Amino acid sequence: MLAYGSNACPSKITWLRTNLGLTGPVVAAKVRCTGLAAVWAAGLRARDGQRPATLTALPGAVEEHFVWFATPEQLAVLDVCEGRGNRYDLAVLDGADIRLDGSPLTGVHAYVGASPIRYPLLVGNAPVRVADLPQAEAASLIGNPASGHGLPTCTVLPPMRRSP
């Protein structure tokens, strides 16, 4: 799973352990991503009024993020945190240029905006990269949501829940 924004922050992992029961080691590796970027989302988080990050296609962009080799149990925790199917979808980044030590990775999953509040915020018709503006300033941005994230993806359906 491509970890960007708060999912790449060690304190978020501690928060997930304390508040949502995340277990097991978190194994992650730094990767180089070309043609996509972490940008500020159109909506604010209800719990703290901050603007979360989201992912968008951005030709020419080169960023470093992490791939989290998450277990199915860890993905279940992340699904709850990310509001899978409501705020974010879990998707395979089809054809994304993501490289680990120069070698391309395929089948990388990421949480991508599933609704206008988690689509990129456009300020002057352009997204605002997380790398260019700190979160403390991002909450005051004014703009409009993009019509989508623009990434070629294949949404991963949530696992079926069995009735007791």
How many Cα atoms sit within 13 Å of 86 on the Cβ side?
Answer: 6
Supply the pLDDT for residue 162.
Answer: 52
* Global pTM value: 0.91
Supply the pLDDT for residue 46.
Answer: 87
* Gap between the Cα atoms of 92 and 154, Å rounded: 5
**Cβ–Cβ under 8 Å, residues 43 and 99:** no
* CB-count exposure of residue 12 (10 Å: 0-12, 13-18, 19+): middle
SS3 (DSSP) at 54: strand
Could you tell me which CATH class the domain 2-155 is placed in? alpha beta
Domain spans of the chain, in order of start = 2-155
* Gap between the Cα atoms of 112 and 5, Å rounded: 12
Q: List per-block mean pLDDT (blocks of 10 residues) for the chain, which spans 164 residues.
A: 92 96 97 98 92 96 97 95 93 94 96 96 97 95 96 81 54
SS3 (DSSP) at 136: helix
